[in-house]
Structure 1
Amino acid sequence: MTKAPTPSLRDRNRLLARDVVLDAAERLLCADPTASFSMRALAADAGVGFATPFNHFGSKNAIMQALSGRLIERMAAAFEAQAPAGDATDRVLAMGAIAVAHLLGQPDVHRAVVGSLGVASATPGAVMVQSRALWALALGDREGLSDDARAAETVLATNLAVAFRGCLSFWTAGEIDDRHLHGMVEANMLTTVLGFAAIDRRQAVLLRLEEQTTDQGPQGVRQSGWP
């Protein structure tokens, strides 16, 4: 196996500076989740020159996009550490639970981060690509999916990313509260996977979906006891 080249000192310093700025942005969001901090305040908190955040990210919105990417990386790392068992549906539901747990770890901060993704930008971000990769990771070897779904893995991963983003959009808008977020995510994951499930797996997915939507709460999802 070919050994990956060692990053140059310049590259290592660049990555370190980016992390320092993102760490500072997270601290400022914890103090004020409205994300009203200025770039000057960000540079001061990070202990870097005023131009450094601009040099590495270009704009405040790009910094928020990078925080979203960092959040997705943490979700993926937690999923790989837990290595949930089961087929593709089980793994997708496990990823949904892990993702929601991360979001609710700092709900105000993550509402600000997710909410910033809806801001129009001249330069498209990479969140869609990152989210699709997250759900492709969850799908794994696609066990329990139909043969057609195996050929359409990218389509399913994309649909899961879109369904998840839809849930988060309503959550950031306050139309889904913290208690109902996991139920809404799980119901959407089940509905999305259902169209790709193998014939012998569809009944189990339907039963799980029926359980999830029984005894619906005031916001249209089951009150599953999620914190």
Structure 2
Amino acid sequence: METAPSLRERNRQLTRDAVLDAAERLLARDDAGDFSMRALAVEAGVGFATPFNHFGSKNAIMRALSARVIDAMSDEFKAAAPRGDAIQRVLAMARIAVAQLLSQPKVYRSVVGSLSVADSGGSAVQEHSRALWAEALGAFDGIAPATRSAAGASLAEQLAVMFRGCISFWVAGEVADAELQRKVKGAISAVLLGFSRPAHRSTLQDNIKAAGKSR
């Protein structure tokens, strides 16, 4: 049986959420997609030291925003409960993930771009992303039996790496908002192709071809 969080812990979470909400608003408003810690405290309605006390650094705040958007992708996936096997669920997760990023493109470009900055406090972004794709893969139904062992060992990780690669080009402005769904779908399909059952291969190949076309 889970123990309900204490009042202190609830208040702590409310403060953290207020700081993250304020950070998103500032990123959305600023032409450069940036904010100062002083402006963040004012926007959140907290003391100047509060964001530091709760997160430690600006980089840590950006990583917390990354974790929050990944959690939102997972929540949306659970709510949608897409039907189908692992291949179809992964493609559904890709659609959901891109739609979440495009819901606030300016904010999430800044958030993803910040992840390239090293942080002495460490980061769990890679593992968090890997878990997202593992959720979509489920029990690996739809994966070719001969490749299931390899899929179990590495497929979620490879999907996380491929997705991050795609959105890094989007962050750099080399992939337009309107192209992102197509590019991610093609890239994810390229990873899945080597693991899929024959019934999916034609669709995956079509996705890959479509991603390479100029529009």
Question: Is the shorter-chain TM-score for this pair beyond 0.5, marking a shared fold?
Answer: yes
Q: 1:38-117 counterparts in 2 under 5 A?
A: 38-117=36-115
- Tell me how large the CA RMSD over aligned residues is: 1.7
Gaps of 5+ in 1: none
Distance 1:131 1:124 in 2: 15
Which string of whole-angstrom CA distances, capped at 9 and with x for unpartnered residues, describes residues 101-144 of structure 1?
Answer: 11111111111111111112212211111101110111112111
Match of 1:161 in 2: 160
Higher helix share: 2
In the alignment, structure 1 residue 212 sits paired with structure 2 residue 207: yes
Residue 127 of structure 1 aligns with an amino acid whose one-letter code is V
Unmatched tracts of structure 2, length 5 or more: none
Q: Quote the Cα distance in structure 2 between the aligned partners of 1:215 and 1:113.
A: 28
Cα distance in 2 for residues equivalent to 1:185 and 1:100: 8
What fraction of aligned residue pairs are identical, expressed as a percent?
A: 56
SS in 1 for 2:35: coil
Aligned residue number for residue 173 of structure 1: 172
Amino acid at match of 1:149: R
Q: How does 1:192-211 map to 2 (within 5 A)?
A: 192-197=191-196, 201-202=197-198, 204-211=199-206
Which residue identity does 1:183 align to in structure 2?
R
Q: Distance in 1 between matches of 2:210 and 2:163?
A: 22
TM-score if structure 2 supplies the norm length? 0.93
Q: What amino acid does structure 1 have at the position aligned with 2:119?
A: S
In 2, Cα distance between equivalents of 1:108 and 1:210: 31
Contact 2:189–2:204 (8 Å) recurs in 1: yes
Q: Which runs of 4+ in 1 moved over 3 A?
A: 213-216, 220-223
Q: How far off its partner does 1:150 sit?
A: 5.0
1:186 aligns with 2:176: no
- Letter of the aligned partner of 2:123 in structure 1? G
Contact 2:193/2:204 (CA < 8 Å) preserved in 1? no
Partner amino acid, structure 2, of 1:120: A
> Does structure 2 conserve the Cα–Cα contact (< 8 Å) formed by 1:180 and 1:222?
no
Q: Is the 8 A contact 1:167 1:184 kept in 2?
A: yes
- Single out whichever of 151-160 and 17-26 deviates more from structure 2: 151-160
